[in-house]
Amino acid sequence: MKKTTLGMIGTGLLAFVIGFGYFPLSGGMTPASAAPADETVAPIEQTTTQSHETSTDASEQTYTVFINSVEKSKDGGLQLETDRIGWYTGETADKLFLKENPDAKEELGGAPDGYYIVNNDTTEVKLPVAANAEVLMQIYDHTGSYEDVQINWNEKMALDKFEAQYNNPMGLLDLSAFPYHITVKDGVIVKIVQQYIP
């Protein structure tokens, strides 16, 4: 499934949020000083290129994905249906973007907003989520009020709250429109980190 926009947020809401300064989108991200020192997902200007996966040890892998569904499994736990993507920033994003969009070189010069998503393989994989999996969010609908849609770097969220937020059709943000970095250990997701996109 190809996703490159903020889905249900719509341009009207985006203009409203930007117009009232609830979170800045100009220049790609909030200044680095606004993010925590030990941030897991750095502002785009500081993020190095991330593609399909990174490795920490033989039994643990981190993948960048779109999450297509969050649902209960037969055993009562959660499972995610994921679609692996390539997430690129900086010069690599510019090169890939211009390779696929050569006519945009003069007008844009590179990838809009400093990132580029490649989703050539739309194979969906269902993975179980550990009951104690860590969830870190950058932005979501805290209260149902536009004023509370603000960036909070790597804000911890309970797994059941993530399920409720993801499956909330009335929410102000469509969480399925964001990429996520998932850490998988022995076939089970142990960490979910939302990637902020401007």
Q: How confident is the model at residue 57 (pLDDT cuts 50, 70, 90)?
A: low
What does the pLDDT look like over 116-150, one tens digit per residue?
Answer: 999 998 899 999 999 999 999 999 999 989 998 99
How far, in Å, CA of 174 to CA of 140, rounded?
8
Question: Any idea where the domains of the chain sit in the sequence?
Answer: 7-43+52-85+119-194
How far, in Å, CA of 181 to CA of 136, rounded?
10
Q: What is the average pLDDT value for the chain, to the nearest integer?
A: 78
How far, in Å, CA of 43 to CA of 134, rounded?
20
E strand intervals along the chain: 53-57, 60-72, 78-84, 86-89, 115-118, 124-137, 155-157, 179-185, 188-194
- pTM (whole model) above 0.75: no
Task: Count Cβ atoms below 10 Å from residue 20 Cβ, excluding itself.
Answer: 10
State residue 58's pLDDT score.
65
Res. 5: pLDDT tops 90: no
The larger pLDDT score, comparing residue 42 to residue 156, is at 156
Q: How confident is the model at residue 105 (pLDDT cuts 50, 70, 90)?
A: confident
Q: How confident is the model at residue 54 (pLDDT cuts 50, 70, 90)?
A: low
Burial 57-82 (b: 16+ CB within 10 A, else e): eeeeebbbbbbbebeeeeeeebbbbb
How far, in Å, CA of 78 to CA of 72, rounded?
5
Helix (H) or strand (E) holding 93: helix 90-100
State residue 141's pLDDT score.
92
What does the pLDDT look like over 59-104, one tens digit per residue?
Answer: 899 999 999 999 998 898 999 999 999 999 999 999 999 999 999 8
State residue 9's pLDDT score.
35
